[in-house]
Amino acid sequence: MKEELKSPKVENVSVAVVQELGEDNVIVYNVYLINEKNELLENVLVTSKGYATVAKTEEKLITNTLRRSMGNIEPNSVEQIEPIMEDVMGLNNEYWVSFWIGSTMYDKKYIFLSETIKEENFVNVPIINKKGVLVR
């Protein structure tokens, strides 16, 4: 029974936080969904939230959960999920991505741990060809 409940493994789909120049040459951070597959991702849904526990007080911090329907994502392409504010980079930032390929549903949770969205962790993000933090 448990074997029946396992969803298929997600491969070649990732989420990245990319540092870019915005208006007036101000640095901004954008979150992208990257489809490195040669297949269309259909009916893509993304939920995002931030959370942390304050060590000294054990207080739990949680942002609102945002839900976004992204439609279809073409093969070997990228789509912006949302801008991310520097204020929440100290939290764990979670993106739960669900999509269909044919008649099979896939889903995966991508987590940017607190304080990991930093230049020292930047890599070249595929397809976008810009520097950022990538979670596969």
Does residue 133 fall inside a structural domain?
no
Does residue 103 fall inside a structural domain?
yes
CATH of the domain at 55: 2.60.40
Q: 42-90: per-residue pLDDT in tens?
A: 999 999 999 999 888 999 999 999 999 999 999 999 999 999 999 899 9
Q: pTM for the complete prediction?
A: 0.93
Does residue 26 fall inside a structural domain?
yes
Nearest to 16 by CA among 106, 101, 120, 129: 129
Write the CA distances from 70 to 73, 82, 98, 136, integer angstroms: 8, 11, 10, 19
Does residue 131 fall inside a structural domain?
no
Does residue 75 fall inside a structural domain?
yes
Domain coverage including residue 11 = 2-115
Nearest to 75 by CA among 127, 39, 32, 125: 39
